Amino acid sequence: MLQATPLTEGWILRHEGGELPAVVPGCVHTDLLAAGAIPDPFLGRNETDLAWVGRRDWTYETELPPVDGHEQTDLVFDGLDTVAEILLDGQLLGRTRNMHRSYRFDVTGMAGRLAVRFVSAYAEAEAVRGKLGERPAAYAEPYQYLRKMACSFGWDWGPTLVTAGIWRPVRIERWSTARIARVRPLVTVGEQGLGVVELAVEVERARVEAPLRVEASVGGVRASASLDGTEGVVRLEVPDVGLWWPRGYGEQPLYDVELTLLHEDRPLDVWRRRVGFRTVELDRAADAHGTGFTLVVNGERLFARGVNWIPDDVFPSRITRERYRERLGQAAAAGVDLVRIWGGGIYESEDFYDACDELGLLVWQDFPFACAAYPEEQPLRGEVEAEARENVVRLMPHPSLVLWNGNNENLWGFRDWGWEARLAGDSWGEGYYLGVLPRVVAELDPTRPYTAGSPWSGSWEHHPNDPAHGTHHSWEVWNREDYAEYRREVPRFVAEFGWQAPPAYATLARALPGEVLAADSPGVLHHQKADDGNGKLRRGLERHFAFPEGDFDRWHYLMQVNQARAVAAGIEHWRSHWPVCAGTVVWQLNDCWPVTSWAAIDGDGREKPLYHELRRLYADRLLTLRGRVLAVVNQTAEEWAGAVRLRRMSVAGTVIGEADVEFRAGRRAVAEVSVPRELDPVGPKEFLVADADGLRAVHFPVADREIPYPQPEFDVSVAPGAVTVTAHTLVRDLLLQADRLDPAARADRGLVTLLPGERVTIGVSGWKTPDPDAARSALYCMEPSR
CATH number for the domain that contains residue 14: 2.60.120.260
Is 429 inside a domain boundary?
A: yes
| Among candidate residues 103, 16, 22, 18, the one with its CA nearest the CA of residue 57 | 16
Strand partners, 469: 291
Q: Of 242, 275, 308, which residue constitutes the final position of a domain?
A: 275
| pLDDT at residue 208, as a whole number | 86
Is 629 inside a domain boundary?
A: yes
Q: Of 275, 310, 328, which residue constitutes the final position of a domain?
A: 275
Average pLDDT, stretch 223-228? 94
Residues 393 and 466 in one domain: yes
Residues 254 and 242 in one domain: yes
Q: What is the CATH number of the domain that holds 717?
A: 2.60.40
What tens digit of pLDDT does each residue of 239-291 get? 999 999 999 999 999 999 999 999 999 999 999 999 999 999 999 999 999 99
Identify the DSSP state of 108: T
Strand partners, 502: none
Average pLDDT, stretch 316-345? 98
- Say yes or no to pLDDT of 17 above 80: no
Residues 601 and 457 in one domain: yes
| pLDDT at residue 786, as a whole number | 60
Q: How many domains does the chain have?
A: 5
Residues 589 and 691 in one domain: no
CA distances 733 to 117, 247, 583, 704, 753, Å, are 55, 29, 27, 11, 5
Residues 449 and 493 in one domain: yes
Is 566 inside a domain boundary?
A: no
Is 512 inside a domain boundary?
A: no
Percent of the chain with pLDDT over 90: 97
Q: How far apart are CA 358 and CA 146, in angstroms?
A: 34
Q: What is the CATH number of the domain that holds 386?
A: 3.20.20.80
- Indicate if 348 belongs to the active site: no
Q: Is the pTM of this model over 0.95?
A: yes
Is 366 inside a domain boundary?
A: yes
| pLDDT at residue 67, as a whole number | 84
Of the residues 409, 430, 496, 613, which is catalytic? Answer: 409
Residues 368 and 481 in one domain: yes
Q: How far apart are CA 599 and CA 498, in angstroms?
A: 9
Q: How far apart are CA 631 and CA 42, in angstroms?
A: 44
What tens digit of pLDDT does each residue of 439-481 get? 999 999 999 999 999 999 999 999 999 999 999 999 999 999 9
Q: How far apart are CA 103 and CA 386, in angstroms?
A: 11
Q: What is the dihedral of CA 17, 20, 23, 27, to 10 degrees?
A: -10
Average pLDDT, stretch 80-92? 97
Q: What is the CATH number of the domain that holds 182?
A: 2.60.40.10
Residues 308 and 163 in one domain: no
Strands (E), 325-455: 338-341, 362-366, 401-405, 450-451
Residues 438 and 425 in one domain: yes
pLDDT confidence of 626, banded at 50, 70, 90? confident
Is 546 inside a domain boundary?
A: no
Is 255 inside a domain boundary?
A: yes
Of the candidate ranges 168-177, 206-215, 685-694, the one whose mean pLDDT is the lowest: 206-215
How do beta strands 362-366 and 338-341 pair?
A: parallel
Residues 629 and 748 in one domain: no
Residues 346 and 314 in one domain: yes
299: helix, coil or strand?
coil
CA distances 314 to 161, 420, 705, 772, Å, are 7, 32, 39, 39
Q: Give the chain's count of helices (H) and strands (E).
A: 17, 44
Percent of the chain with pLDDT over 70: 100
| pLDDT at residue 785, as a whole number | 76
Q: How far apart are CA 26 and CA 10, in angstroms?
A: 13
- Say yes or no to pLDDT of 99 above 70: yes
Distance of CA 755 to the CA centre of its chain: 36
The domain of 689 spans: 621-707
What tens digit of pLDDT does each residue of 120-156 get? 999 999 999 999 999 999 999 999 999 999 999 999 9
Is 555 inside a domain boundary?
A: no
| Among candidate residues 624, 629, 143, the one with its CA nearest the CA of residue 429 | 143
What tens digit of pLDDT does each residue of 510-535 get? 999 999 999 999 999 999 999 999 99
Residues 455 and 470 in one domain: yes
Average pLDDT, stretch 280-305? 98
What tens digit of pLDDT does each residue of 649-698 get? 999 999 999 999 999 999 999 999 999 999 999 999 999 999 999 999 99
Residues 63 and 144 in one domain: yes
Average pLDDT, stretch 386-391? 98
Q: Of 707, 740, 763, which residue constitutes the final position of a domain?
A: 707
Q: How far apart are CA 308 and CA 139, in angstroms?
A: 20
**Neighbour order of strands in the sheet with 221-227:** 221-227, 212-218, 255-263, 266-275
| pLDDT at residue 630, as a whole number | 97
- Say yes or no to pLDDT of 196 above 70: yes
Average pLDDT, stretch 93-113? 97
Strand partners, 260: 215, 270
pLDDT confidence of 76, banded at 50, 70, 90? very high
